[in-house]
Structure 1
């Protein structure tokens, strides 16, 4: 039996591709282990799979000045030591990293132990963690063709985004029943990312009276962002995060408002869900979500509303436009032919053709 260590965390986007790979890896009889942070969302998402989970310390990697920048390098060094020890006990044949700050110590420790490392970069431009990790990686899997130029020639392989197979198995009726919704109005699902999005949450809630006239709302608002005053509002359900019921909720979804993280938008594209993307602004990111959204908009897969331009009025107008142009968006999305990213990634790692 071969053994693989998976790593990545900090947000759901650094974990969900693993969830796409895990079932196939189990079919291939791999002994799987996960290394992440003690309290990160990766632990919440991975532990239900039954996989052994090994926590380590890690500091956050920042491109901007912060007093924590003087302390966090020591956390990273501690994480390298812990990961080196854990890898010595696990003895994996390979390490697969999805990125995020927790992955860097694991990747460095794997290199020190001579363990092959493969990483996946979801966005057009690589994050700082994957920029560092790529220096120790055998191969870098990328979602966008445009991303190849950010890595040495021959290192990057375009695979697309691994899509969780269970997302295809949802049932609309089961989703509507679980939500307590009817078939009389379309379902609008709003996702601000696993950590939530304050401005999106505020504007959606300010529009509830208007929106619930035309939609039933599923609001995934992020950890700690539930508004108790809105519990019980007809046609509105709010959740921090949905796990096992997500495939059914997606099957019941007619329209999506989402951040523009690569993993999420490729899932919506694969499932042909008309989407309004509100990418993270430059003030809160390196601009990767803006590039993702612009790429999708150029191909006719979505509409885009920039957070700097978002008000109650502009959001409502954008939602009305999304509903009006549903068929056009679906027609464009039908042109997208999803490859089997999971098989391509795993075949490259295992050396199969």
Structure 2
């Protein structure tokens, strides 16, 4: 019996790739032939090829869709056009039964080419309000899934539904003892894990490093600081382990953590929620983004699952005070998390996606 083919797309940040990573094992188990369309130099290239080297990765041209003035706004549409033609050729060659898009700039030409090729397109939106790429993709989609129920008011009602969060099954398989061993920690102190996003955050990094001696009095510290943002002088500091980026080690590091400091990307914070980890969120400000992380963080704070420190208010003192507040309320946060809805499994999400296949 001939395998059905599915095309996955999404990229630009780890958040636009993680759900695709989560569902690939299930798709393979269900005997789908999987093709991934991503950019030539985005983070998705590394993430997919490292974890799934056997999957056919198709690199296309991709232009960033900006809301601000830039010279590249004149040249990037040409790259998007080229990416559309490249996607069209790929889709007509591999003949997928369905296309699943996780968003990001690279997904727009893929979604458009899928519609023109009469292939059902399923789009997934993780944030409270749709990103620009997904807004452009919506008219070409057969169906749109959201994580937050609040998102549905921003989506076309006749072809949208809330799937809830989907968590990679391997995250639940981590072991704190392995996390301690990776970092060289004894396990005698609670562990503070800092995640500044796949690209790192200068503000979060500075908040940690300026307070490091005080933090090390109470915690062992795991710091995911972003590519190219490691501080060579700190590699020898006892109780402090910095990584530019991690992949397979992440489940073990998450299980080792007692408290997490993070940006407020939807995928990450739902992973922390699923693992019942008290969190201090420092969302990207509206100056640097469209404000989606602020909305994500506000919803988590309202539910009692997180404390929020806005980026503009971050300084060494405010950071320490906010972290103390989380530590004081950690048990109460965990109790509230226990009553939250469990995330969908990758198997459940695959059933939803493939129900739209030709």
Please say if 1:183 is aligned against 2:206. no
Partner of 2:63, secondary structure, is: coil
In 1, are the aligned partners of 2:8 and 2:36 still within 8 Å (CA)? yes
Cα distance in 1, alignment partners of residues 298 and 219 from structure 2: 26
Check conservation: 2:274, 2:343, Cα contact below 8 A: no
Match of 2:34 in 1: 32
Aligned partners of 1:15 and 1:42 also within 8 Å: yes
Which 5+ residue runs of structure 2 have no aligned equivalent? none
In structure 2, distance between residues paired with 1:40 and 1:339: 28
Report if aligned partners of 2:101, 2:111 keep a CA contact under 8 Å in 1: yes
Q: Which residue of the other structure, out of 291, 298, 310, is the alignment partner of 1:294?
A: 298
Aligned to 2:123: 119
CA deviation after TM superposition for structure 1 residue 229, in Å = 1.1
Aligned counterparts of 1:313 and 1:32: Cα–Cα separation in 2: 49
> For residues 88-143 of structure 1, what are the alpha-carbon distances to aligned partners after superposition, in whole Å with 9 as ceiling and x for unaligned?
22221111000000000111111111111001000010000000011100000100
Alignment partner, residue 144 of structure 1: 148
Segments of 5+ residues of structure 1 without an aligned counterpart are none
Alignment of 1:89-168 (within 5 A): 89-168=93-172
How far apart are 1:149 and its partner, in Å?
Answer: 1.1
- For 1:16-27, list aligned pairs within 5 A: 16-27=18-29
Q: Is 1:258 aligned to 2:262, yes or no? A: yes
Structure 1 residue 347: Cα displacement? 1.9
Q: Does the Cα contact within 8 Å between 1:160 and 1:341 map onto a contact in 2? A: no
Per the alignment, residue 344 of structure 2 pairs with 340
**How far apart are residue 154 of structure 1 and its match?**
2.2
Q: How many residues align?
A: 352
Query: In structure 2, which of residues 40, 44, 52 is the aligned counterpart of residue 42 of structure 1?
Result: 44
Deviation at 1:157, TM superposition (A): 1.2
The whole-number CA distance in structure 1 between the counterparts of 2:346 and 2:170 is 13
**SS at 2:31 equivalent:** coil
Structure 1 residue 341, shift from structure 2 partner? 5.0
How far apart, in 1, do the equivalents of 2:218 and 2:11 lie? Answer: 37
Q: Provide the secondary structure at the position in 1 that maps to 2:217.
A: coil
In the alignment, the residues of structure 1 paired with residue 342 and residue 67 of structure 2 have an alpha-carbon distance, to the nearest angstrom, of 34
| In structure 2, C-alpha distance between the alignment counterparts of 1:42 and 1:347, rounded to whole Å | 24
Please give the TM-score of this superposition, normalised by the length of structure 1: 0.98
Aligned-residue CA RMSD (Å):
1.1
Aligned to 1:325, the other structure's residue is in SS state helix
For residues 343 and 208 of structure 2, the distance between their equivalents in structure 1, rounded to whole angstroms, comes to: 35
Deviation at 1:339, TM superposition (A): 3.9
**Alpha-carbon shift at residue 345 of structure 1 (Å):** 2.9
Taking the TM superposition and a 5 Å limit, the aligned residue runs for 1:219-234 are: 219-234=223-238
Aligned partners of 1:116, 1:297: CA distance in 2, in Å?
37
Once the two structures are TM-superposed, the CA of residue 351 in structure 1 deviates from its matched residue by 2.4
| Whole-Å separation in 2 of the counterparts to 1:329 and 1:231 | 32
Instruction: Give the conservation status (yes or no) of the 8 Å contact 1:21–1:162.
Output: no
Q: Which residue of 1 aligns with 2:314?
A: 310
Q: Is the 8 A contact 1:162 1:342 kept in 2?
A: yes
Distance in 1 separating the partners of 2:138 and 2:252 = 37
> Does structure 1 conserve the Cα–Cα contact (< 8 Å) formed by 2:36 and 2:58?
yes
Counterpart selection for 1:271 from 268, 275, 278: 275
Checking the alignment, whether the CA contact within 8 Å between 2:167 and 2:346 is kept in structure 1 is yes
Would the aligned equivalents of 1:141 and 1:345 in 2 still touch at CA under 8 Å? no
Structure 1 Cα separation of the partners of residues 168 and 75 of structure 2: 37
